[in-house]
Amino acid sequence: MGISLSFSVEHDQVRRESFGEYCYRIYSDGQLIARYWHDYRGDDHGIEFINGEKEDGPVGRMTDFLEGGGPQPLVLSDRAVAYIKRKLGASA
C-alpha cells in the first residue's frame, strides 16, 4: 500500500523585481518540502527540494506544474503530484 500524501502550495510573498521570478513553497502534510519558481512569463521554471536537489523544467511547462491562481486556489497539477511523489519515493 502506498504512502498517502497531501500537498499544498503557497505563493512566497518575497519582494520581487518587476520582471523577477515568482516563487512558491510546496508543503506535504503541512511540512515544507520544496520551493518552486517560474519566470515572469512562465517560460523557465524549476524546483529545489529541501534536501538541496534541484531540477529545471520539471514536468514540461509551468502550466503543466501549477493550476489555478487568480480567483481559483493555487494547486499542483496531477503531473506535478506524481513527479513529487516519485522524487520523495512515495507511490502515486
Q: How far apart are CA 47 and CA 72, in angstroms?
A: 22
Angle at 48 between CA 83 and CA 78, to 5 degrees: 25
Q: How far apart are CA 50 and CA 47, in angstroms?
A: 10
Q: How far apart are CA 83 and CA 92, in angstroms?
A: 9
> What is the reported pLDDT for 34?
96
pLDDT digits (tens, 9 = 90+) for 14-69: 776 667 788 999 999 999 999 999 987 778 899 999 999 999 989 888 989 999 88
Q: How far apart are CA 32 and CA 28, in angstroms?
A: 6
Q: How far apart are CA 4 and CA 28, in angstroms?
A: 10
For the cut 50, the answer to whether the pLDDT of residue 91 exceeds it is no
* Mean pLDDT, residues 63-91 taken together: 88
pTM listed for this prediction: 0.83
> What is the reported pLDDT for 40?
76
> What is the reported pLDDT for 16?
64
